[in-house]
Amino acid sequence: MQLIQKRTFWEVYYNPSLNILEAYWKNTGDDMEDEEFKDYLLNFVPLIPKYKVDGFITDTREYHYLMSIELQEWHDKVIAPVYIVHKLKNIVFIMNEDFLVTSLSIQQTFAEENSNQLRVLYTEGLEEARSVFMKNRDKEKTKTYRFYEAIV
């Protein structure tokens, strides 16, 4: 994997074997404001056409930032259309069940009008998340994993 973006709150890698991006959020908390969060996403989306990826994994197990309703709506209007235009096949979030409120805000974001056109999966581990892209790319058998969707 190739490190392509390193910032205070995350690291983003290009995984050429699966043709995906992998974003790993670091412990955030109250230190990040909405505008900074937007900046992270606005710097992420150009990586999608640059690397011509099929999708991405976002590891949110250390992600403690609660997305406001306004931020969720902004994401749906500004970010989700980029994902749709570039025909991302899958977006997979690795989530920590200990942070249900934070997880719910992520799931609500992808239930918005534009975002609900995307295939978004939620799981608890990296191996499970990568298996989604192995199935799509190689059509080879992989283990069966548990994925879940939010009821929002």
Task: Note the pLDDT tens digit of each residue in 89-107.
Answer: 899 988 876 654 455 555 5
Among 2-11, 61-70, 143-152, the range with the most confident prediction by mean pLDDT is 2-11
Strand partners, 81: none
Instruction: Specify the range with the lowest mean pLDDT, choosing from 3-7, 21-25, 130-134.
Output: 130-134
pLDDT tens digit sequence for 107-135 = 555 554 555 677 888 888 899 999 989 86
48 or 132: which leads in pLDDT: 48
- In this prediction, residue 41 carries a pLDDT of 95
Q: pTM here? A: 0.79
Q: What is the mean pLDDT of residues 61-70?
A: 79
**Is 70 exceeded by the pLDDT of residue 139?**
no
49 burial class (0-12, 13-18, 19+ CB within 10 angstroms)? exposed
- In this prediction, residue 103 carries a pLDDT of 53
Domain 2-138 is found in CATH 3.40.228.10: no
Amino acid in position 17: S
Spatial separation of the C-alpha atoms in residues 85 and 49, rounded to whole Å: 10
Are the beta carbons of 37 and 51 closer than 8 angstroms?
Answer: no
Task: Return the structure tokens found at 58.
Answer: 């976002």
Confidence of residue 32 (pLDDT cuts 50, 70, 90): confident
Burial pattern 55-76, b for ≥16 Cβ within 10 A else e, equals bbbbbbbebbbebeeebbebbb
- In this prediction, residue 60 carries a pLDDT of 86
Rama region for 94: left / alpha / beta (φ>0; ψ in -120 to 50; rest): beta
State how far the alpha carbon of 35 is from the alpha carbons of 17, 40, 42, 58, 71, in Å. 33, 9, 10, 19, 9
